[in-house]
Amino acid sequence: MANLQKLIDLDGLSYFLGQIKAKFVRSVNNIKPDSSGNINIANMTGATYNSSGKAGLAPIPAAGKQDMALCGDATYKVLPISGGGTGQTTVAGVRYVLGLGNTNGALPIANGGTGATTAEAARRNLGIDSIGVKLVIYT
């Protein structure tokens, strides 16, 4: 009965937790527990052109980096085009690097748009307002 009583005070719970850590945790990413059963994992190490990185905890992103990707070099940044991104942080910038034009209005026909801001003007600009189809407009 004395052993059960020991488990319900803080010292007993601390002892019990220590025993669980010592018996069940073997390693995490080849890091062995210390004498108290704790495993201390460092931040990841980024890869370079010549060397591989090392597994670890993700580094803490700085303020303003919340929308950026964690890259293999252990930094947060906008993905470059060569990495599958656009290298841009704004919609206008993305449109420009994708060759869609540097415009905030209607996308020009030359860049894959209609050059119009209404359906009627778009049909007219694309030459499909007179293809023999009667258009019914409901109001």
Q: Report pLDDT for 51.
A: 92
DSSP 63-109: TT-TTSEEPTTS-EEPPPGGGTS-S-SSHHHHHHHTTS-S-SSSPPG
Q: Report pLDDT for 63.
A: 92
What would the two tokens of residue 51 be? 């060397």
User: Where do the structural domains in the chain lie, given as residue ranges?
Assistant: 1-41, 69-126
Q: Report pLDDT for 133.
A: 61
Per-residue pLDDT of the chain (139 residues; tens, 9 = 90+): 456 665 577 777 888 887 777 777 677 777 777 777 777 888 899 999 999 998 888 999 999 888 888 988 999 998 887 777 888 888 788 878 887 766 667 777 777 788 888 888 888 888 886 666 666 677 7
In angstroms, the CA 139 to CA 41 distance is 66
Q: Report pLDDT for 6.
A: 58
In angstroms, the CA 79 to CA 98 distance is 14
What would the two tokens of residue 88 be? 């841009």
C-alpha angle 19-22-34 in degrees, rounded to nearest 5: 130
Q: Report pLDDT for 117.
A: 81
